[in-house]
Amino acid sequence: MQKLLGTVFFLPTLFLVGLGFAVAIRRLLGVRIGLVRTVLAAVLALVVSGPLLTAMVRRPEAIDTGSGLLLTVLAACCASLVAMIVLVIGEVLVPDGSLPGPVELWRGWRSRVIRARRYSQIVRIAARYGLGRFLRGYRHSGLESPASRRDLARSVRRALDEGGVTFVKLGQQLSTRRDLLPTEFVTELTQLQDNVAPIAWPRVEEVLVAEFGRPVGEVFAEFDQTPLAAASVAQVHSARLPDGRPVVVKVQRPGIERTVERDLDILLRLARTLESRTDWGRSLRVADLAGGFAEALREELDFTVERDNLQAMAAALADGPAREVRVPVPHAGLATERVLVMERLHGTPLGAAEETLAALGTRRRRQVANALLETVFDQVLVRGMFHVDLHPGNVLVAADGSLGMLDLGSVGRLDGTTRLAVGRLLAALGRADSMGACDALLELVDRPDEIDERTLERALGVLIVRYASPGANAGAAAFAELFRLVTTHRLGIPPQVAAIFRTFATLEGTLTVVDPEFDLVAGAREVGRTQLAESVEPVRLRQSLEDELVTLLPMLRRLPRRVDRIADAVEHGRFTVNVRFFADARDRRVVTDLVHQALLAFVGAAAGVLAVMLLGADGGPQVTETFGLFGLLGYALLIVAVVLVLRVLVVVFRRDLT
C-alpha cells in the first residue's frame, strides 16, 4: 500500500518537475521547439539532475539546509544546460519540423498506407515494362539511338495506359510538349486513348438518381442505355427530354475522384522532389507545371465547371468572327458535379470524317480550316478563354462543313496583359522583327536573374528566318522550336503560357486533318494581319482612346498639385528622397545569412575558448570518480564549438564549389 501511495504521489511530482524543466529550457533558448523534443529534453534533465546532485553532495551529513538548496538549484541548472546542449545538437542534425510528429503520423497513417500500396503498384507496372532501371537511377546505354528511344517510348506509353486515368491524362498532355520530349515519345504518346470498357447500366442509373433525386424516367422521355462513347473519366449516352429535344448525357464514373486525388498526390510529391533536387526541374518549374495539370484535371472532374465553360464559350462564338464553329449548349437545370446534360450536335468526329471532308471539296476544306484558326485566335487574343485540347477527337464535322467543339472541361484563361504580349509576339514574328519578338517573349515568361538578351534576340532571328519566311512550311515545329528556345535560356514558363503553346501545337494536327495542305504559319500570319487591320479601324481606335483617357484622367487631374508640392518643397529646402535599404527580400536574405554565419562563428569560437578554460581548470565538484563537473561541461562546450564551426565551414565550402 505504501508503494502504491508513493507511486501515486511520485508521478504528478515528476510531471510537474518535468514541465518546469520544459518551460525553463524553452525560455532560455528563446526559440519555439517541438513538444516532443522539449519533453525528451526535460526527461533527460531529470535523469541527469539526480547523479549530478549526488556527485556534488559527497558528505550529506555535513550539508546544512541552505547549502542543500543551493546545490539542488546548481544541479538543476547544470541538468538544464546539458538538456539545452543536446537540443541544440539535435536541431543541427535534425531540424525541427523535418520529421513528422506523432500526431501527424497517427492522423496520416491510413493515407500513407494507401499511398504506399499505390507506389508499389506503380513500381510493379514500371518493372513489367522494363522501366525499373530508371527508377534505380541507371541510364539506358542505347538511349541516344532512335530505335532504343522508340522502344522506350512504347514501354512508357503502355505503362501510362495501365497506370489509370491520371497517368493517361498526363501522357496525353505530355504528347503536346515537343519542347520537353523527343519526337519518338511525342509520336508514341499521341496514341494514348482513354477509351475503356463502359460501366454497367445499373451503376449509371445509380449516379443519375443520386444526382437528380428522382427516377430517370421522370427526367428523360427516352434514354439509351448503350453509351455513345466511354472514357476513363465519364461516358456519354444519348437521350431525349420530355419536350422532344435530343440531348447527350455525360455521366461520371463512380469513385473516380478518389483514384484521381490519390494519383495526383503522388505526382505532386514527385514534382516537388524533382524541383528541389535537380537543376532542370527548377528551370522548368516542374512543381508549377504539375500543379497546373492537377488543377486542370480537377476542373475536368467537376461538370459544373464544364457547364459554365460551355455557356461562356457559346456566347463568345455567337459574337466571334466565324459563325461556323459551335459548342453544345448545356441545360443549366440538368447539370451537377457528376452529370451534364447538353445539346446534341450532329456530325462525325474529325478523326473519322474523311468521307465528309472529301465531299466538301478542296476550297470548302480550306474555308473550314481558316474558320477554325480564326476562332482560336479570337479566343486567345480577344476573349481570353480558349480550348486547350483541340485534337481531332474533340471536333465534330457536319455535312455542311460546320464544326462543333467538344470537351470543354478544362479551358485556358488569359489576362489582358498576357493577351497583349501574345499579340505583340505573333505580330513581331509576322514582321520578322526579332527585337520586338524578344521584348514580347520576355513579357510572357518569368525572367531569371541573369539573361543574355542579345543571344536570345539572335536566336529568335534565326528561328524567324527558318520558319516564318515566305515559302516555309514548318507547322507546329515552329512553335515547338520556340518553346525549346525558351527552355534553353532557362526562362520560366507560366502554366497559362504553356497552355497557349500546347493549343497551337495540337491545333496544327487538327488543321492538317481538315486540309492536308494547310500552312499554319501562313494562316496565322494572315489572320494576324486581318485582326491588326480591324484593331486600327476608326471605331476601334476611338474606343481605345476613350478607354485610355478614362484611365489617365484621374492621374492627370492630380499631376499639377503634385508638381506644385515638389516645387514648394525644393524652394523651401524641404525636398527629401526616401530610400529604403534592403527593400528587396533577396538583399535581406543575403545580409541575414551573413549575420547568421558570423554569429555562429563567434558563438563557436567563444564556446571553444570556454571549453579550453574549463578543461584546464582544477578542482570543482566530481560527477564521477574520474570526471569532474568542469571537465564534463568543457567537453560538452567543445562538442558544441566543433559542431557550430563545422556548420560554418560546410556553408563556405559549398559556396566555393558552386
The pLDDT tens digits for 481-517 are 777 787 777 777 777 787 787 787 778 778 888 888 8
pLDDT above 70 as % of the chain: 74
Looking at the DSSP bridge assignments, the partners of residue 231 are 195
Looking at the DSSP bridge assignments, the partners of residue 248 are 238, 342
3-state SS assignment for residue 190: coil
- Between CA 457 and CA 439 the distance in angstroms is 9
Looking at residue 616, its pLDDT comes to: 80
Q: Which residues, in sequence order, are CB contacts of 252 under 8 Å at separation 6+?
A: 207, 233, 234, 301, 303, 337, 338, 339
Residue type, position 47, single letter: V
Half-sphere CA count of 54, side-chain side, radius 13 A: 8
Per DSSP, the residues of 590-630 read HHHHHHHHHHHHHHHHHHHHHHHHHHH-----BSSSS-BHH
> What does the mean pLDDT of the chain come to?
76
Higher pLDDT, 609 or 104: 609
603: pLDDT strictly greater than 80: yes
Q: Residue 470: which pLDDT band, with cuts at 50, 70 and 90?
A: low
C-alpha cell at 375: 476562332
C-alpha cell at 566: 515638389
Looking at residue 137, its pLDDT comes to: 46
pTM over 0.75, yes/no:
no
147: pLDDT strictly greater than 50: yes
Q: Residue 349: which pLDDT band, with cuts at 50, 70 and 90?
A: confident
> Please, are residues 87 and 114 in contact by the beta-carbon 8 Å criterion?
no
**Looking at beta carbons, which pairs linking 318-323 to residues 24 or more positions away fall under 8 Å?**
320/374, 320/375, 320/378, 320/379, 320/383, 321/374, 321/375, 321/378, 322/371, 322/372, 322/374, 322/375, 322/378
Range in 25-34, 544-553, 590-599 with the lowest mean pLDDT: 25-34
Looking at residue 249, its pLDDT comes to: 92
Q: Residue 441: which pLDDT band, with cuts at 50, 70 and 90?
A: confident
Looking at residue 27, its pLDDT comes to: 64
pLDDT above 90 as % of the chain: 3
C-alpha cell at 320: 466571334
Range in 14-23, 134-143, 275-284, 384-393 with the lowest mean pLDDT: 134-143
Q: Which residues, in sequence order, are CB contacts of 130 under 8 Å at separation 6+?
A: 155
> Please, are residues 275 and 282 in contact by the beta-carbon 8 Å criterion?
yes
